[in-house]
Amino acid sequence: MTESRRRPGRPRDTSIDERALAATRELLVGRGFEATTIQAVAEHSGVHASAIYRRWPSRIELIEEATFPGLSPLGVRPTGDLRADVRRFIRAYLAAFNAPAARAAAAGLLAYHQASRRPRPPELDLRVSARPQFEEILRAAPPGSVDPAVDPDDVFDMLLGAVLARTLLLNVTTRQRPVDRTVEMVLRLLRPLGTGAATTPDA
């Protein structure tokens, strides 16, 4: 079905894509996940429903592309300052998950994927696409500041969980700890044995 989106000899009108995606984000924020149907997107964007279905098999794929488009929001270039790079990376991740349309869509998409057991949650895309950037940050760090024995995947999973907990759980509570606490926890996970190099003075 997705193959039809790349049919040769049929140039894709990207402005139609953009209009549908923008309308999807507006509907998510304005009316919520359930109301963001293909028909509503068609009416809101002026793009015919048939043209939308030609591009996305269902509203789920449309909403995912509109809210979690993958790599681009996390374009964090490593500077070699591990603490600063990790902080910017976490902030970029949080910003992607906290964008109004993403927040409006996240729980609905999770509910859909939990019910359907389809193997591709939107967060997974963001995760797979962001992991190489995280590894770049580690490679750019000064020698000796990252324990070579630690598996970057393990640290990345902890980081992802912290971002998820912040965006899914803590948004609806009054208790929100500073992002720098999470930065320090990630640095603690990375620091080599027997050194205090990557730690913070405050407790």
CB closer to a copy of itself, 50 vs 172: 172
The residue among 5 and 131 lying less far from a copy of itself, judged by its C-beta, is 131
Alpha-carbon separation of residue 49 from 1, 12, 25, 41, 58 (angstroms): 16, 16, 16, 8, 11
Cβ-in-10-Å burial (0-12, 13-18, 19+) of 130 comes to buried
Cα–Cα distance between 43 and 31 in angstroms, integer?
A: 14
- Alpha-carbon dihedral of residues 97, 92, 159, 104, nearest 10 degrees? 0
Q: Which of 22, 108, 136, 179 binds a copy of itself (CB under 8 A)?
A: 108
Q: Is 161 in the site for a copy of itself (CB under 8 A)?
A: yes
* 18 versus 157: smaller Cβ distance to a copy of itself: 157
The yes or no reply on residue 176 touching a copy of itself (CB under 8 A) is no
In this chain, which of 130, 138, 141, 155 binds a copy of itself, going by CB under 8 A? 155
Rounded to whole angstroms, the Cα distance separating 45 from 43 reads: 6
CA distance 152 to 132: 10
- Does 130 bind a copy of itself (CB under 8 A)? Our answer is no
Contact positions vs a copy of itself (CB under 8 A) = 32-33, 103-104, 106-108, 110-111, 113-115, 117-121, 123-124, 127, 149-151, 153-155, 157-158, 160-166, 168-169, 171-174, 177, 181-182, 184-185, 188-189, 193-196, 199, 203
